[in-house]
């Protein structure tokens, strides 16, 4: 590892992206539930469900998504996290 600072920044960015996708998946699950398969498990994970929504919003410009991109960006609001922690 020749540049640990850059790796640290990349790891932080990946962590934020993972949390954003997971939180978006949880929110989307409340809006439209994930189907349960015959074996009793969910068809997709919360992370995958959220990542698909974020990908569609980024690539299609929210044309086919019933939620505005600002709603999805709301999960990144730092003040909510701080207020919830108090």
pLDDT tens per residue, range 15-34: 988 998 999 899 889 889 99
Higher pLDDT, 73 or 20: 20
Q: Who contacts 68 (Cβ-Cβ below 8 Å, separation ≥6)?
A: 62
Torsion on CA atoms 4, 11, 71, 84, rounded to nearest 10: -90
Mean pLDDT of 1-20: 90
Q: What is the mean pLDDT of the chain?
A: 80
Q: Domain limits of the chain?
A: 4-85
Give the helix, strand, coil percentages of the chain, each rounded to 5.
70, 0, 30
């Amino acid at each position: 590892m020749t540049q640990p600072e850059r790796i640290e920044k990349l790891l932080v960015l990946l962590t934020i992206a993972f949390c954003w996708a997971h939180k978006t998946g949880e929110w989307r699950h409340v809006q439209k539930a994930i189907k349960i398969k015959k074996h009793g498990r969910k068809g997709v994970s919360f992370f995958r469900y959220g990542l698909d929504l974020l990908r569609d919003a980024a690539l299609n410009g929210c044309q086919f998504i019933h939620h505005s991109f600002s709603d999805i960006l709301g999960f990144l609001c730092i003040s909510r996290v701080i207020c919830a922690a108090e």
